[in-house]
Structure 1
């Protein structure tokens, strides 16, 4: 093992990270390897520690190997083929200097899953094929998440106590996104969501906190909750994603406006909108309503009828997947999403109609 009188004591903080992490000394040797590294390399920590990093991390790309040996700058690369005793494994890798000890570096290795899942069946028609696109996108996003989570866990050990809440937010959001991306990879299929009772107001607050952490310039939010609402029967993570997508759309719609206001209200709709259940042809009451409104310019008339279709967007940098994902997640929760434009109030409104936790009733 490399000798260095200024060796940083990072072993304890690296041990709990769930992906392979290596602490690399100034002389390019592995000074510490966590438990996940043992499982990944199939070697004991005792064997790994002391090995040169460029003799342990050997990539199929000679350019990547040269960058690893040079140590001139930090490295962040995706889809790199790493040579192992078991053959080539595709990984994402991040190699960065330690802030307080810049001669030392930390390598975070995120193994990628082998191969994409088969996305849908082409015989299911055009919509099935189109909804396969979020599954491919989900695959590409999910793979670097383990590295992000590991970096956040590492950062949590170094920040002030008052900032730990921010690193916790990163870790929790990464876990939530990973679970949702598992669902995205199945958007072309008709698998039911895992439903459970949930307090909708707590989920709304989760969505707002997540957006505010990512966007300090959010418009004013006007909230009007009905505190008497019962729990709803939904997939909590899926609903948080639905709310984030709708709130982000409202935020984007008011860019450049100084009087922008987002409205969020909940209420019990006595009429109880009904939706046929495909499996047993019974009906589901959807009496709990969430309304998300904004006073932006509204949706152009020419895309209103295709608003929830994949790849339909007015945003220059948008992918047109946000509302398609909203519709799919809402459908999986036996719920409904509606769009309307209130011309008199100059408001765009999305309404979510949800079932109560008591479940299905006969119509």
Structure 2
């Protein structure tokens, strides 16, 4: 018997493992045909057992879930509901969740994603109970953890796509992986409420920073803008933090692109590098541009 995994020409099971929310897929008769690891913990059943269950064995037919399921089937569109209270028949536990029901195109299958609402309540409870800087550090730690969860999912999905991608698309997918790593590193280094934060520095080739940010800009917010490169190949390595340099350069290029777009796209962005001893900021005589060396 052909399953949904056979019909989909991607490693759906591998993709499931990267998404850090409970997921289940139902067939037209509301049988659970597959699920992910997070669904095991959410429903309290091992996947090989859960995947043999009918969905009505988990939730009563009077549950508002079935209204969402029916609406998604009838309208063939994604249906979302927020702050829904669900009680599992098997373990009798009640969960407050956001639910998303999505139909697979040209099939009778539905994807259900459960997003637990516990993090918002936990964040609020810690904020109300504590009035010190320590509590703020704890809350930022919780928030950082929640940001990193979808980041790992994004990178995992990108890595799955990388294997079968064309050479041109591989470079774009690599940007996704690099940028998720950069955000992850920024989160790890965040000590917002501490005076003792340390910036990790290393020897960096600035031209790799230029090329990385330029590729992101050309495929995103500055895709219609002309870039001109004037690099000095003899430029020595600089001692700095890679992620922060990317962030600074990204902001400068984004500001430049917005200025150009506000001027009817009349303009170009020049990326140049040169070594001038003791010179930190250079203001050219021309009124048409301002150079801000890093």
Tell me the TM-score normalised to structure 1 length: 0.56
Q: 2:273 aligned to 266, 276, 289, which one?
A: 266
Give the aligned partner of residue 108 of structure 2.
103
Q: 1:263 to 1:13 in 2, by over 3 A?
A: same
Offset, 1:205: 1.1
- Any idea what the Cα deviations from partners look like across 1:57-104, whole Å, max 9, x if unmatched? 89xxx76663245324214577777767696777666543334x4322
Offset, 1:228: 1.9
Q: 1:188 to 1:104 in 2, by over 3 A?
A: same
Aligned partners of 2:270 and 2:181: how far apart in 1?
A: 28
Aligned partners of 1:45 and 1:351: how far apart in 2?
A: 56
Offset, 1:46: 0.9
Contact kept in structure 1, 2:96 and 2:116, CA below 8 Å: yes
Offset, 1:152: 4.6
Contact kept in structure 1, 2:68 and 2:101, CA below 8 Å: no
Q: 1:136 to 1:7 in 2, by over 3 A?
A: closer
Aligned partners of 2:284 and 2:11: how far apart in 1?
A: 57
Aligned partners of 2:12 and 2:83: how far apart in 1?
A: 27
Q: 1:48 to 1:189 in 2, by over 3 A?
A: same
In structure 1, stretches of 5+ residues that fail to align are 274-337, 353-363
Give the aligned partner of residue 229 of structure 2.
223
Q: 1:69 to 1:260 in 2, by over 3 A?
A: same
DSSP 3-state at the match of 2:228 = strand
Give the aligned partner of residue 245 of structure 2.
239
Offset, 1:138: 7.3
**Higher normalized strand content (fraction of residues):** 1
Q: 1:216 to 1:272 in 2, by over 3 A?
A: closer
Give the aligned partner of residue 19 of structure 2.
19
Q: 1:97 to 1:88 in 2, by over 3 A?
A: same
Aligned-residue CA RMSD (Å): 4.5
Aligned partners of 1:239 and 1:224: how far apart in 2?
A: 19
**Higher normalized helix content (fraction of residues):** 2
